[in-house]
Structure 1
Amino acid sequence: MAAGTRYAGKVVVVTGAARGIGAGIARAFVDSGAQVVICDKDEPGGRALERELPGAAFIFCDVTQEEDVKTLISRTICRFGRLDCVVNNAGYHPPPQWPEETSAEGFRQLLELNLLGTYTLIKFALPHLRKSRGNVINISSLVGAIGQSQAVPYVATKGAVTAMTKALALDESQYGVRINCISPGNIWTPLWEELAALTPDPKATVREGMLAQPLGRMGQPAEVGAAAVFLASEANFCTGIELFVTGGAELGYGCKASVHTPTDAPTIPS
């Protein structure tokens, strides 16, 4: 099947699509022949991508605001007449913070964005996805499965996204709606670059990020986009799965203890 026809005639909503992974996903679906709704709070970035991608439409939406999400779905249906796939990519990774540095309010705000925003969009999209026997793709994270230091709230929200994916897959199977998630590892995005810039040695941080993968590099947003198109267009017997797009970062052993962790060396026979 030609790349431009893999998802031809389908309508896809992508949240957090103005840049980074979301923009990579939007481009991949446009390349597959789909009509894509670019959803984001970043109107200048969303409009710029709309101009770049033929057939794409930008709709402003803050996924933490229920009325925004309702409007997003209604305008999508009004314009295109159908909905085949939603990709929940909108989210945020705070800078590193130890547990005692977090606040309940900050945790709550991250839950609103990373978890409840995903749930709200799915809830309003489901009546239309049931009609088209469409599918949902949630963007989770590798760290939701393996953990991450100084990131308790983020890890908790992404672990919940993965768990919610599996529960929804069970509920929606009776309607022929598939629910899957993608868990990226280190993907080179503007957010990754911004977080690295906050560290004492950004170049060393980026190199550490590259070396975390056996493949020796970070992923690209286009590679997450390719995985999303595969799940939407060809993975018809897959539901409730977590697809790692990580370059193998979760494989093998490595140095996990910090220099401050108490150690207890085994007694080595002489």
Structure 2
Amino acid sequence: MATRSRYAGKVVIVTGGGRGIGAGIVRAFVESGAQVVICDKDELGGQALEQELPGTVFLLCDVTQEEDVRTLISETVRRFGSLDCVVNNAGYHPPPQWPEETSTQGFRQLLELNLLGTYTLTKLALPHLRKSHGNVINISSLVGGIGQSQAVPYVATKGAVTAMTKALALDESQYGVRVNCISPGNIWTPLWEELAASTPDPKATVREGTMAQPLGRMGQPAEVGAAAVFLASEASFCTGIELLVTGGAELGYGCKARWSVPLEAPVTPF
């Protein structure tokens, strides 16, 4: 019963909540006693989770469409009377691509989803969060801070989410609204599985992803969910932080070059 009292009676919106990390976050908040609005543009996944989990409501919403987001917030407040927490989880990681393979249009679409969708929902939710002294949790990514090969647009959007979190935390502190972000590393989700399947050797890709963590495994969506509930319910003196949920993937030295230069080779001056 103690678990269900951690965030009892609070109202939470989770975008991209129909599967993967989003579904893990939804489950964690339900277990904490919260009423959760599952926002997703995947109707089947969202409805299935709504039927499975008492205390949830599914609302069809594309976070790249501002009118959808306005409706999401107004309908949430109409049903529950308040809003305490927004989790901006909706996002996408494209398959690996070198810079010359990317397109301006593809980059723009990713910005609309990964960055501007987070901005729009947060901006429109703030009047309600200020009333409740609530909080915002943005789902960023470890690679937003350390980089990732063949993922320039994705890394750029996630780095921007982390930076925006800090700026929003400064602006909203005067209203008692906390703004934090979680940066997951390798979390085993349907999207991770799909990305692995698109590579020449999926089994080798999964093994590489597994061995990237000193803990010797990938994380689970439930572990990101537990971090989100912690930030919402217990981290009352934390704002503007980036919480790494990575299994230590960023620690230590590792093989990063695809070629080697002889030690006796001259150094090219700048």
| Matches of 2:227 and 2:244, distance apart in 1 | 9
Specify the code of the residue in structure 1 equivalent to 2:10: K
In structure 2, the partner of 1:196 is: 196
In structure 2, the partner of 1:79 is: 79
Q: CA deviation at 1:264?
A: 3.8
In structure 2, the partner of 1:235 is: 235
Q: CA deviation at 1:263?
A: 1.8
Specify the code of the residue in structure 1 equivalent to 2:23: A
In structure 2, the partner of 1:249 is: 249
SS at 1:153 equivalent: helix
SS at 1:126 equivalent: helix
| Matches of 1:177 and 1:71, distance apart in 2 | 22
Counterparts of 1:1-270 in structure 2, within 5 Å, are 2-259=2-259, 263-266=261-264
| Matches of 1:187 and 1:264, distance apart in 2 | 37
Q: Give the gaps of 5 or more residues in structure 1.
A: none
Count of matched residue pairs: 265
SS at 2:168 equivalent: helix
Q: CA deviation at 1:266?
A: 5.0
Q: Give the gaps of 5 or more residues in structure 2.
A: 266-270
Q: CA deviation at 1:36?
A: 0.1
The alignment's TM-score, normalised by the length of structure 1, stands at 0.97
The alignment's TM-score, normalised by the length of structure 2, stands at 0.97
| Matches of 2:252 and 2:77, distance apart in 1 | 46
In structure 1, the partner of 2:268 is: none
Could you report, residue by residue, the CA deviation over 1:179-209 in whole angstroms, capped at 9, with x for unpaired residues? Answer: 0000000000000000000111111110100
Could you report, residue by residue, the CA deviation over 1:72-131 in whole angstroms, capped at 9, with x for unpaired residues? Answer: 000000000000000000000000000000000000000000000000000010000000
Q: CA deviation at 1:55?
A: 1.0
